[in-house]
Structure 1
Amino acid sequence: MTDRLAQPDFSMVLASSVHDMKNSLGMLLNSLESEIQANPAQDSAQAERFAILQYEASRINGELIQLLSLYRMQNNHMPFRLDEHFVIDVLEDQLARNDMLFKTRNIDVEIDCDPDLAWYFDDELVGSVIHNVLVNGARYSKSNMLLRATIENNQLRICIADDGNGYPPMMIECPQKLMDKSVDFEEGSTHLGLYFAQCVAMLHQQGEQQGSIHLSNDSPLGGGVFELVLP
């Protein structure tokens, strides 16, 4: 008879649980979208409740995906698939993925991207970053968002701008500090989305250049701007 039960690898157990929760929440989110389509809101109060449910479910699902991805990165199990993609395809995919969320929140999203613009990057990881920013934008925008992709200084710049109240100063400084310190739960926010975006950006390298993220309040719509730069 054994003296004690073997101790499980808690990080692996947690990762497996996160994976299961992510799948279950994804199914719930799909069911919620189908229900909203089949039974549209009857008044503004109901529309607001739908919007809250949609946002919270999308936000939590996105955070679970980020947690699982960061675990895989840390343990060198995260596949990194660098290939050439049309940028507009990735932008449109993420916009379509959140179409119901934007409809329930009455937010118009414009895409400004040359349809022939192609670049080398991991479309799944970059898509996850864009998805997270769009979901947060749906919460803080008033009525409009802009997705813009351009080439500047031989780098791809993907900007997501909104017409909200902008980023607080602490968040604008955050991306530069994220990689220099551990997460501080006492601050009230782990900045998980920004940390994930920074990790994804830094995976993309070309010579001495490395990807990065930037936040500012220079939005052409009057709010905040999230920028993902890939060499």
Structure 2
Amino acid sequence: MPDQHNPPGDTADDSHVNFSMVIASAVHDMKNSLGMLLHSLDSLREEHRDTLSGSLRFNTLQYEAERVHSDLVQLLGLYRLGEHTLSAHSEEHFVPDFLSQHLARHRPLLEGHNISYSIDAGEVLGYFDEDLLTGVLNNTINNAIRYTRSKILLTAEQRDQFLVIGVEDDGEGYPEHMQKTGSVDPKPVDFNSGSTSLGLFFASSVARLHRDGPRQGFIKLHNQGTLGGGVFEIWLP
């Protein structure tokens, strides 16, 4: 006699939903939709440059859309990390060009907020996964836009046999409890500040995926930069 609660041929296992996969699929769709929205915002800014470039509401809209898009990219990366399907596929890159390309993406927003920007990289080559570093860099630049007063500096150099890519600003800097060198573990949401530490955990995870023998990457947060504010660094072997 067929089970009254399940149609013939169905089992309880068939109705089980992999909720993590459902969420990941939804996040992927939202990320793509936001990407289209950001493209439209860029086009609108270009078409109405005289009126929109200095609009606080428009710049806030674009900044928040960029921030949410970056968060969704990181969530997908962390989902893949939890599923053990995320790995670093390193290739050689000319770092000044890599930094210039990503700074260009944020240039309209930087100029809309009257934030000056520059790159100090020299002739540096590095091996890293471009897609993973793009996610880290976009999130870090977004944070710098939020906390800076008027300046952002991107840096790159070879130091102690590591490629060190940094993002500096002239804001208040990192509070003492956040300044550290090494890995970052996920933390509960701070409902007073709204901080989730998602970006730092993602950046730390990406850094650790880059390995060279026994050495692996890490991040460093400090306030000893040239602009007097916070300095984010990712160290890649």
For the aligned residue pairs, the C-alpha RMSD in angstroms reads 2.0
Tell me the alpha carbon deviations over residues 107-130 of structure 1, each in whole angstroms, 9 at most, x when there is no partner.
Answer: 111111123x21111111112111
Match of 1:11 among 20, 44, 60: 20
TM-score normalised per structure 2: 0.88
Q: Which residue of 2 aligns with 1:209?
A: 215
User: For 1:69 and 1:41, how far apart are their aligned partners in 2?
Assistant: 38
Separation (CA, whole Å) in 2 of partners of 1:43 and 1:17: 31
Match of 2:29 in 1: 20
- 8 Å CA contact retained: 2:93, 2:128: yes
Counterpart amino acid of 1:211? G
Match runs of 1:131-150 below 5 Å? 131-150=138-157
Equivalent position of 2:198 in the other structure: 192
Residue of structure 2 equivalent to 1:39: 48
Mapped partners of 2:165, 2:66: distance in 1: 21
Q: Give the match for residue 68 of structure 1.
A: 76
More helix by percentage: 1
**What is the distance in 2 between the residues matched to 1:48 and 1:56?**
12
Question: Residue 151 of structure 1 contacts residue 157 of structure 1 at CA under 8 Å; is this kept in 2?
Answer: yes
Task: Pick which of 78-87 and 127-136 moved more.
Answer: 78-87
How many Å separate the matches in 2 of 1:98 and 1:75?
Answer: 31
Distance 1:96 1:105 in 2: 15
Q: Is the 8 A contact 2:182 2:218 kept in 1?
A: no
Return the match for 2:179 from 165, 172, 182.
172
* Identity score, percent: 44
Counterparts of 1:96 and 1:69, CA distance in 2: 24
Q: TM-score, normalised by structure 1?
A: 0.90
Change in 2 beyond 3 A, CA 1:74/1:43: closer
How many residues in Structure 1 have an aligned counterpart in Structure 2? 226
Change (3 A) 1:34 1:43: closer
Q: Which has the greater radius of gyration?
A: 2
Q: Do the aligned partners of residues 42 and 8 (structure 1) sit closer, same or farther apart at CA in structure 2, a change above 3 Å counting?
A: same
* 2:9 corresponding residue in structure 1: none
Amino acid at match of 1:128: G
Q: Displacement, 1:140?
A: 1.3
CA contact (8 A) 1:91 1:127 kept: no
Structure 1 unpaired stretches of 5+:
none
Unaligned runs of 5+ residues in structure 2 are 7-13
How far residue 49 of structure 1 moved from its aligned partner, in angstroms, is: 1.2
